[in-house]
Structure 1
Amino acid sequence: MRLIDLEHLGREHVIGAWLVGDVLVDPGPGSTLDTLLAGLDGEVPRIIALTHIHLDHAGATGALCERWPDAEVWVHERGARHLIDPAKLMASAGRLYGDDMARLWGEMRPVPADRIRILGEGRTEDFRHAATPGHASHHLGYLHEPTGTLFAGDTAGIRVQGGPTLGATPPPDIDLEAWMESIALFRSWEPDRVVPTHFGVFEDVGGHLDALEAWFDTWGRPARELDEAQWVAEHHTWLAARAEPAVVDALEQAAPPEQCYAGLARYWSKRAG
């Protein structure tokens, strides 16, 4: 089992892909495909296991399926149609990122429908898996049972060694109640370590999840009380007091604070509406 740092935009510790035997968890965006292939060093995974279909996690999947004609893709049922036809997903992202789309994420190629395996709650091979919404409605969590390793995508938050645990809360479908239920599910699995895509390996699982819940207590509600500029500035000050500049930069690249605010503000607006 090994971590491949995809060095997104040339920066370390922003996006990681995991190779677990012949299972590749979250291959990352199309823009880092060459870095991924270099890290695999000729190994050809049999399975691509997606926690969710956001471009920073799943964008390279279609290109890898073209390269690896026997690879199977695991995904939540709500994400499958966007892998088969990514046009709507790419158009939505294009409205957010504009001219930066190619630089940030590259191309997302379609995945043939017959290569997709829909997963929900259960066990497949060495992995226990279940829907873990909160960050995204189509999110899956995976527990690699032989090693006790929790592949939580973004639902267990983001963290870089030397920094705090944060929530990644971009629009459109942040759901804090569902998120708390997913955290409770992770606790019930009793993992030995958690490996968030952003970024690394952490064995203090209980403390990590406690810190994520505390982040929501501290920063979730203020998103309906502060405007964007205030929330972003206060969050940056809070983060900068707890981590070195390189760690702050990696965390804010993985989860841009303006997007985190936007997702939380959208959640509160929906609750009020």
Structure 2
Amino acid sequence: MRKNLLTVIALTLVFQSYAGGGWVHNKYKGYFKVAQNMIRSPHFFDSDGNTVDIPTVSLYTSSIYGEYGLSDNLTAVAYIPFFVRSTLNKVEFRQSGNTIDGDAINSFGDTNIGLKYGFFQNRKVVMAASLTLGLPLGSSEVSSERILQTGDGEFNQLVKIEASHSFDKAPFYASLLLGFNNRTKGFSDEFHWGGEVGFTSERVIAILKVYGIESLYNGDSLGNAQSNGVFANNTEYLSYTPELAYIINGSWGLSASAGFAFSGKQILAAPNYSVGMFFSF
């Protein structure tokens, strides 16, 4: 059971939260979402994909995500984790009575900004290409007094191409994506791939997302961040995330999701839960 659970942390959440697939917004149209994510994990996927026990790590992320049409073909995208709290539980050994102190940190998180260009927008299969820049604005310093982080300290560039199709005779859509993430400071580059299917109605949107990250193992063995198993190098996973959104009116809505996994390496092993409120215009 443990191997079927995966933390999709703040860093990797960015890659799954982008709404739109191959579609882009028209000029001056957009989508904004305020979300709260929660992860609490006493388990970790090691470098061989096995699940091991660790002192419980928790990660709480408050974020703003936005898409805004600069033109009918070009959309600006941003993910801003404006408050991230990470905690590590205290460990007490029953036989010896010795303890290992816990830790906690509150900070800004690593931020993503990007541009997404749409083409073939009037055809049955629409496509879009995007460039996302990962800005190392979180806390990545590690010392003997503090081992928790809210970022990995490296600047990365993710290039993606996405394709989507909306079915004419049924309220369903499907999307596919491929991506390459160039990472710096000793972190290995990554190959990204994924897909999603969705059902849409006047009030309810149901989505199932699948997302995979595979390391190219071309960086240093550890990179610059390995302290708490959240921002490790050579992270890999294959995840699935069901999401449900309810449209309150034409512009406002609520959403909830839970992220799980088929497999993982170098990442916490626990579900990621998310709730949010969105606004489209």
Q: Which has the higher contact order (CA 8 A, sep 6+)?
A: 2
**TM-score, scaled relative to structure 1:** 0.26
* Structure 1 or 2: more strand by fraction: 2
**TM-score, scaled relative to structure 2:** 0.25
* Structure 1 or 2: more helix by fraction: 1
